[in-house]
Structure formats: structure tokens, C-alpha cells
Amino acid sequence: MELDKILAISKKPGLYKLITQSRGGFIAESLLDQKRISVSISSNVSLLSEIAIYTLSKEVPLKTVFSNIFEKENGGQTSITPKSSKDDLEAYFFSILSDYDEDRVYASDIKKILSWYNLLNQHKLIDFKTETSVSEEEE
């Protein structure tokens, strides 16, 4: 899975795939409706590969969190919806990342992570099985 080409753009729903750079920013394609948009360089954009989740001891990369969800759900969509109650979301998140920092990771963050995971999984952009087999071969 390549999260370095997947973007979260502030004030825009869903995730975007980086297509190319342009003079004043870049062109991105929505994973929701496959529409392309021009994003200015001044927009608040985050690469998923650069996002980490706070735990009590360190910051865990989003890719690791997605891997934990993938394992828990056996490669399927999440068993809980992002619209579930705050308590349900927190209980689910504790089951995938037992030491996450409750004071710095909000229910809105958990909703976003679950939505992103489901979207990436729906578009077959998450495949930890091939990564696991490659790393096992290297050992």
C-alpha cells in the first residue's frame, strides 16, 4: 500500500490520489467520485504517509493502524461504522491500538481513520498480505 500518493485535503470530503504537479499546486483525483480537482499550493493538505496517531509512549504511523484494522477485520470493512457512538468508537479503537492517547486522539479523529480505511479498502488500495509475504521472504 502506498500512502505517500494518498492525500487528505482540508475542507474536502474523502481522500484524493495525487495525479501530477502543476504550476500553482497539483492535480488530485477523488476516491469518492473520481473527479479531478486542481489544488493550490496554499491549501492545507496532508499525506496519509505522514500522519501518526498519538499513544502513551510514542506516535504510531497511520499505516500501522490500518494494518491493525486489516488484521482485526480479516481484510474486510470495519465492523463498526464511523457514525457509531463515541463510546463504541473508543472501544473499537482500543481493540486495535490499546495504548492510544485518549486526551489527544478525539472521536472525530477515529471517525476519520475508520472512514479512510473503509474507502481505501473499498478501492483495493490496502493489501497487507503482499507486504507480509515480501517481508517474510527477506528474513
Which of 12, 30, 48 delimits the end of a domain?
48
Predicted pLDDT at 97: 95
The range of the structural domain enclosing residue 37 comes to 3-48
pTM of the predicted protein model: 0.86
Burial pattern 124-139, b for ≥16 Cβ within 10 A else e, equals ebbebeeeeeeeeeee
87 pLDDT band, cuts 50/70/90, is very high
Query: What's the rounded mean pLDDT across residues 14-37?
Result: 93
In angstroms, rounded to a whole number, what is the distance separating the alpha carbons of residues 73 and 123? 16
Number of domains forming the structure of the chain: 2
Q: Is residue 29 part of a domain?
A: yes
Is the predicted pLDDT of residue 106 greater than 80, yes or no? yes
Predicted pLDDT at 132: 44
23 pLDDT band, cuts 50/70/90, is confident
Q: Is residue 138 part of a domain?
A: no
**CATH for 112:** 1.10.10.1650
| Structural contact between residues 76 and 118, judged by C-beta atoms closer than 8 angstroms | no
76 shares a domain with 38: no
65 shares a domain with 37: no
Is the predicted pLDDT of residue 133 greater than 90, yes or no? no
Q: What is the DSSP letter of 139?
A: -
**CATH for 30:** 2.30.30
Is the predicted pLDDT of residue 137 greater than 70, yes or no? no
Q: What is the mean pLDDT of the chain?
A: 89
pLDDT digits (tens, 9 = 90+) for 26-84: 999 999 999 999 999 899 999 999 999 999 999 999 999 999 999 999 989 999 999 99
Q: Is residue 139 part of a domain?
A: no
129 shares a domain with 90: yes
